[in-house]
Structure 1
Amino acid sequence: MRMVFVFLIGFLGGAAFAAEQPRPAGLEGEVVLTRLKPVKVNADGKKITIDYGKVFFSQVTLSPNSENFGNTVKIKLRESGQPDPLPSIGQEQIGVRYLEQEVSLVNGAQRLSLPDSDKRLMHANVGAVMPFRYLDIYGWKGEFSEDMVDVEAARSSKYRQQGGTLFSGGGHAEELNRLLELSNHTIEATSFAGVFVDGDRERLPYEADAYINMLGWFANVDDVTVPRRTFDFLVEHPSWPTEWQAHMIFMAWADYQYTGDLQFLRKNYEWLKLVSLDRAISSKTGMVNIKDISWFLKRELKVTYPLADIVDWPPSQRDGHEMKPSNTVTNAFVYMGFVRMADIAHALGEDSDRDKFTKLAAQLKASMDDRVRRSDGLYVDGIGSSHTSAHSLFVPLAFGMVNADQRGGVLKALSEKIDGYSGGFPCSVFMAQYLLEALFQSGEDEEALSLMLNKTDRGWFNMIRRYDATITHEAWDVKFKDNEDWTHAWGAAPSNIIPRFILGVNPVTPGWAVWTVKPSKVLKFSAESSIPTPYGVIKIIYDYPARKISFAVPAGTVARLKIDDAQVDFGPGQHQIDWKL
């Protein structure tokens, strides 16, 4: 058997992947295999091409007919629509999966051999899986039936899509549907290891990736075990970016908002206090300079590498951000971590800690306002910088750090940044989450929607139109990251942004006992949506032509309708109201 495969493994910083990789505990039975049905089979006499419609992490079993016993065929598995590997950029091979094998067919079923790297994080009962959409066979003799090739896709056994949204009625309805299809399939397909992973190249949980995946998971799936298993893995195996530590606090708070479960917060409370980085505040500047105590945190957190600021990834997506030791974006994440820690302490009845973290947040903001904020309200990139990146605008804005009287100037500067990228994202796929949150929370819904639907090379439709993406990519385009992979759930922000900000459905109290219905002013078309909660599935119909909203309130909950300045609460049952935007 001859095998050729194109694959690159590396940490965010480019180091080689360790030979031994930690494995999440308790995955037996947590991953299931489901047989895929082809959407198209084409046989032109020279080769057979099977298209499974979307990329899945799958394995292949061949069961040839008697005419092919002993015959040698060539098999290609590929993510890309083109038949050969994508060309290299510079000295690095683009991280798009492609595998080629010559196989001597036998009488009976035979599993196609996959690289050992495709066994990472997988339980032995499942085995290796590789992301691909297309399967090519060269040299097949005689008749062929799709039953002779068995492709089984792996996914978490907990993934059962109970939530989802379908838009209709023109306008941007179909474009939003396309974004949801892309993002929701991303969340399903990348659940193949039973934990949230950062993509195929590394196949490891990372805190920031996991948080975005988690928000989309909760919008689609009534399950907390996969997010919590991922969280537990990250407690044991934290990663190196400074800002990623705050995402553990964000994950814990999101879990509480979805479940209302205090036990999970209590179990992890001491760890959350550690990753708050409260001990990293410099007595000289009042801001975090992670280099000052990175050695200490490396020991305390047991990270493989010393902590370092990341701001965005790859570095080319930082909008020229100056990486100063006292970094504005890093400190904004620490600030928001303090705010959430105060919330968590309050939920747990830890009043002294609540006061401590509230004070820490206020002090950090005051230090940042004093040292890195200009008189017009714009933050520069860090102490000693005179430059303001898009990130130094939208991250503090998303975290409520911009004073109300200066928000207009920050939004104007941010809009100019977006215009400078021809209406595309001035940041990476990952940071799109926070830019969109900043815009929607500031009432700039039109600009946020325009960004989501932009057709430049810095948006989701570039993935869809240029590469026929079915899973979100690690970067907006291969030209922005030489070794990007095409299976990165940190790009699945639309799965949570659309229900939270366009439909306006969010928990008011932890566990969804009270929740909001607050449709965006950009919702000028109809929508049907289901959102899972611990009390059952919320179902809402926005009938735009009739200007009516119909919604079912699960027993034990209250729906709080907010339109303009009006607010009305509705108890359990079916309701219909007039909808005037």
Structure 2
Amino acid sequence: MLKQLILLFSTTLYFTFHSFAQKAYSPKAENFEHSIITPKTITELKKGHYLIDFGKAYFGTLQIQTSQKQGKKLIIDLGEKLNDQNRIDKKPGGYINYCRIKLDQIPNHELIDIAIPEKYLPRRSAVSAPKEFQEVIPFRYCEIQNLQIPIESIKINLKALHYSFNDHKSSFTSSDTILNQIWDLCKHTIKATSFTGYYIDGHRERKPYEADAFINQLSHYCVDTNYDIAQNTNQYFIDNPTWPTEWILHTAKLFYTDYLYSGDTKYLKENYEKLKARSLIALEREDGLISTSSLVSGDSLHKTIGFKKVNTQIKDIVDWPAVERNNFQFKPYNTVVNAFYYENLSMLSLIASTIGKKDEANFYLEKAKKLKESYNDVFFDEKLGIYKDGEEASHYSLHANFFSLAMGLVPKEHTKTVIEFIKEKEMSCSVYGAQYLLETLLQHYESEYALQLITETKKTRSWWNMIEAGSTMTMEVWDKKYKENLDWNHAWGTAPLNIITRNLWGIKPTSAGFKIAEIKPQLHNLKYSTIKVPTLKGEIIATYNLDKDGNLSYEFEIPNNMTAIFHSIKNYQILYNGFKINDGKIELTPGKHSLIELRNKSK
């Protein structure tokens, strides 16, 4: 207890005597790019009236150049969605974007970027692109009316704004065309939503939130090696925490994940004391569990965390929107918050160890062990073999169980009943909850079921439903019926991208900067797949084939200065570069490697 007080006191002193480096992390204009997107199709609706489809939505402006004089005022509509008449939907609902612009004249031969009227821009935007750039909105379609000159004499482009992005560093294909389209949807979302240089929650607010940013970060790291956006966003959160309890508890993992991919300890060292404050350790009761129920506005903890507004309320969120909580029964001491708290303690132990604070690493590790014991004593129902929503709760939600499993709180002997319960509940969570649901299923080798959830085509809680609705970026929620004011450009819906890379293919760093990589594939019944995964040391390139006899063949290309450890999850005989191997764990050095897992020959 004394040591805990000392740690809390040192954190408070840090915040008292150290000022924030406000805006030191602002994105720089030179790190942004414009992509000129040409029309995929141009359809004449009637004389002088055309519909232009750019193929995918981007955040951008319209660029026009004519070779003849247009004497009449042009009416231009921009939008993300079409209506049933194959016209831009002018009343799309929610925050699906629509904009009308009237142009009096277009100078001959001059390339012009059309400004977006202010009334179509979000009313509240916490962050924005550098002032050197025009304001942008998301759109895929353009309608032009009153065109008096031939359509061939006018050049019309979508001028997209985004952060520096290398399209060629990553790729994925497989025998499942639905899976491929979902991966492409997610990759495009990561690129297209980067227009502020921060991980934002979509067009409506354009604000960073920790949980949104974490999923965005994982997916971004799977397609590019530009880590500036993550580092800008993480530093933004140090100055601007958000109100949900679990979002605050994402802060340490945002920083540690960046360290694993970038190999840079700078941000861990500079922000360690602040990350300790975000652990919410001050809320512990005797048995190690935490609750925010007693917190009031202006509490000293609020100031220590970094809230600028004294009336900010910290509240448990579980999932969002509220309809996606699977009827979670809120109690002062609940499973979801304490699952995140357990993970946070474990994460702080890793961070402390990384920056050479061994005593504090042990301190947090011991606290995590104590919490795990209390967690199972208080929340686990021995009779049913699953977790209830909270202390004195009578309800058993999907979230109480998949978060318990995801954070490593379920003893091995109870894993089976928890997984059975999770599978009964299907996808009764949001696109945010899906990140942790899919992750924990694959951590426990439930690849068949995880793939089924990702590639679902008949239910609204699916990524295919987003594609069918017409969105080319992942949506804020599964469908409009779950949240009326949804937007169509929310990167916290990109879980499949990082799940495919990090869990289905099982490629992730196990030491900082990808010095050591793990490759632990569980591609189930996919007939073939290829993947290219970016790292600072180069790309990991892999191919997979399943033959008619059930043998699994792999080809790997490992970049220089990296060791990759291949893990076989099957009890098959392995041929490695033509030699029989009995160990299911093989070290792959830089260069090319061939592996075959022989189904009918067990080790």
Q: What is the TM-score of this pair, normalised by structure 1?
A: 0.89
Match of 1:540 in 2: 542
Q: In structure 2, what is the equivalent of residue 361 of structure 1?
A: 368
Within-5 A mapping of 1:326-475: 326-375=333-382, 376-418=384-426, 425-455=427-457, 456-465=459-468, 467-475=469-477
Which deviates further from its counterpart, 359-368 or 541-550?
Answer: 541-550
Q: State how far apart, in whole Å, the 1-side matches of 2:263 and 2:153 are.
A: 47
The 3-state SS of whatever aligns with 2:593 is strand
Query: What is the alpha-carbon distance in structure 1 between the residues aligned to residue 415 and residue 211 of structure 2?
Result: 26
In the other structure, the counterpart of 1:36 is: 37
- Which residue in the other structure is 1:212 paired with? 215
Identity %: 31
Q: Given that residues 88 and 141 in structure 2 are in contact (C-alpha distance below 8 angstroms), is that contact kept between their aligned partners in structure 1?
A: no
Aligned to 2:597: 579
> Could you say what secondary structure the match of 1:264 adopts?
helix
CA distance in 2 between counterparts of 1:45 and 1:132 reads 22
Does the 8 Å CA contact 2:78/2:88 hold for their aligned counterparts?
no
Contact 1:329 1:392 in 2 (8 A): yes
- The residue that corresponds to 2:306 in the other structure is 302
Structure 2: 5+ residue stretches without partners: 1-21, 572-583
1:526 match: 528
**What is the distance in 2 between the residues matched to 1:489 and 1:209?**
7
Structure 1 residues 62 and 95: CA distance shift in structure 2, 3 A = same
Alpha-carbon distance change, 449 to 67 in structure 1, aligned in 2, over 3 angstroms: same
Asked if structure 2 preserves the Cα contact closer than 8 Å seen for 1:114 and 1:129, the reply is: yes
Report the alpha carbon displacement of residue 40 of structure 1 after superposing the two structures with TM: 0.6
Q: Residue 559 of structure 1 corresponds to which residue in structure 2?
A: 564
5 Å-filtered alignment, 1:17-416, equals 25-46=26-47, 47-69=49-71, 71-82=72-83, 83-85=87-89, 93-107=93-107, 108-116=110-118, 117=121, 121-145=128-152, 147-168=154-175, 173-283=176-286, 286-294=288-296, 295-303=299-307, 304=309, 305-375=312-382, 376-416=384-424
- The secondary structure found in structure 2 opposite 1:576 is strand
Aligned pairs, number = 544
2:205 partner letter = E
Please say if residues 68 and 149 of structure 2, whose CA atoms lie closer than 8 Å, have aligned partners that are also in contact.
Answer: no
Which amino acid in structure 2 is aligned with residue 364 of structure 1? L
Q: Cα offset for 1:509?
A: 2.1
Report the AA paired with residue 303 of structure 2. R
Q: Give the 3 Å change call, closer, same or farther, for CA 529–147 of structure 1 in structure 2.
A: farther
Match of 1:50, SS? strand
Deviates more, 1:98-107 or 1:247-256: 98-107
Q: Secondary structure at the match of 2:52?
A: strand
How far apart, in 2, do the equivalents of 1:44 and 1:521 lie? Answer: 46
Aligned to 1:549: 554
Shift of 1:382: 1.4
CA distance in 2, matches of 1:343, 1:23: 27
SS of residue matched to 2:61? strand
- Cα distance between partner residues in 2 of 1:547 and 1:444: 18
Taking the aligned partners of 1:232 and 1:159, their CA distance within structure 2 comes to 24
Query: Alpha-carbon deviation of 1:203?
Result: 0.4
Q: Distance in 2 between matches of 1:348 and 1:249?
A: 14
Contact 2:238 2:306 in 1 (8 A): no
Distance change >3 Å, CA 23–CA 344, structure 1 → 2: closer
Q: 1 CA distance for matches of 2:552 and 2:428? A: 36
Q: 1:80 & 1:24 partners in 2: Cα distance?
A: 35
Q: Secondary structure at the match of 2:390?
A: coil
Counterpart of 1:350, as a letter, is K
1:297 shift after superposition: 2.8
2:169 aligns to what SS in structure 1?
coil
Q: What one-letter code is carried by the residue in structure 1 that aligns with 2:95? A: G
Please name the residue that 2:576 is paired with: none
The residue number in structure 1 matching 2:577 is none
1:444 and 1:577 mapped to 2: Cα distance? 23
Which string of whole-angstrom CA distances, capped at 9 and with x for unpartnered residues, describes residues 387-433 of structure 1? 01110010011111111111111111111111xxxxxx110011100
Q: Contact (CA 8 Å) 2:38, 2:54: kept in 1 or not? A: yes
Letter in 1 for 2:462: G
What secondary structure, in the 3-state scheme, does the structure 1 residue paired with 2:159 have? strand
Distance (Å, rounded) in 2 between the aligned partners of 1:146 and 1:65: 5
In 2: Cα distance, 1:396 partner to 1:515 partner: 26
Deviation at 1:147, TM superposition (A): 4.6
Label 1:43 to 1:280 Cα distance change in 2 as closer, same or farther (>3 A).
same
- Write the letter of the residue equivalent to 2:197: G
Is the Cα contact below 8 Å between 2:59 and 2:139 reproduced in 1?
A: yes
Alignment check: 8 A CA contact 1:318 1:427 kept? yes
Q: Is the 8 A contact 2:430 2:477 kept in 1?
A: yes
Tell me: CA distance 1:580–1:262, structure 2 relative to 1, closer, same or farther (3 Å). Answer: farther
Q: SS in structure 2 opposite 1:384?
A: coil
Aligned to 2:367, the other structure's residue is in SS state: helix
Q: Which amino acid aligns with 1:297?
A: L
2:37 is aligned with what amino acid? Answer: L
Question: What TM-score, normalized by structure 2, do the two folds share?
Answer: 0.86
Take 1:24 and 1:478, find their aligned partners in 2: how far apart are those partners? 35
Determine the C-alpha separation between the residues in 2 that align with 1:579 and 1:133: 45
Verify the 8 A CA contact 1:297 1:306 in the aligned structure 2.
no
Which position in structure 1 is the counterpart of 2:14? none
Bigger Cα displacement from structure 2, 559-568 vs 110-119 = 110-119
Q: Does the residue aligned with 1:430 lie in a helix, a strand or coil?
A: helix
**Structure 1: 5+ residue runs without aligned partners?**
1-20, 419-424
**Counterpart residue identity of residue 98, structure 1:** Y
Q: How far apart, CA to CA, are the structure 1 residues paired with 2:598 and 2:439?
A: 24
SS at match of 1:114: coil
Tell me which moved more, 446-455 or 108-117.
108-117
Distance verdict in 2 for CA 1:85–1:396, change over 3 Å: same
Aligned residue in 2 for 1:6: none
Contact residue 31 and residue 126 of structure 1 kept, 8 A: no
- Aligned 8 A contact 2:288 2:367 in 1: no
- Provide the C-alpha distance between the structure 1 equivalents of 2:467 and 2:235, rounded to a whole number of angstroms: 34
* Secondary structure at 2:567 match in 1: strand
Counterpart amino acid of 1:332? A
1:523 Cα deviation after fit:
4.7
Question: For 1:105-162, what per-residue CA distance to the aligned partner results, in whole angstroms no more than 9, with x for missing partners?
Answer: 2324544331433686021211200000000011111301375323200110255541
